[in-house]
Amino acid sequence: MPVAALYIELRIEHAQSLKDRRQVVRSLKEKLGHGFNISIAEMDETPTWQSATLGVAAISGSRDYLAGLMREVESAAVRIAADLGAEASMCWEFLETGEGG
């Protein structure tokens, strides 16, 4: 069954503290999570004020559905990040899982 993984790199130039950074990250995660059927988590181990990495995952029986979903999430992430004063760059890939049993 296909799984899509999307990696979002955020650049938050205006962040002057970790509080500023957390506000942008939290808002982006909430908006994407509520708008799409995805799982999303922050992936940074040692956060800096001006950057963050998020991971998004989705699973479906259809690669075509996942490809369309990831394109929609990409577009939304760029728009939401810009509204929050951040810049988003991303890439995504399919991960194939075995048919467990």
Residue 101 is predicted with a pLDDT of 42
Tens of pLDDT, residue by residue over 8-63, are: 999 999 999 989 999 999 999 999 999 999 999 999 776 688 999 999 999 999 99
Pairing, β 51-59 against β 2-11: antiparallel
Domain presence at residue 10: yes
Mean pLDDT of 1-11: 95
**HEC-encoded secondary structure of 3-58:** EEEEEEEEECCCCCCHHHHHHHHHHHHHHHHHHCCCEEEECCCCCECCEEEEEEEE
CATH number at residue 61: 3.30.70.1120
**Is residue 97's pLDDT more than 60?**
yes
Domain presence at residue 101: no
Domain presence at residue 87: yes
Q: How many structural domains is the chain composed of?
A: 1
Residue 49 is predicted with a pLDDT of 87
| Gap between the Cα atoms of 43 and 51, Å rounded | 11
| Gap between the Cα atoms of 55 and 40, Å rounded | 6
What does pTM read for this prediction? 0.88
Domain presence at residue 33: yes
Domain carrying residue 55: 2-96
Domain presence at residue 45: yes
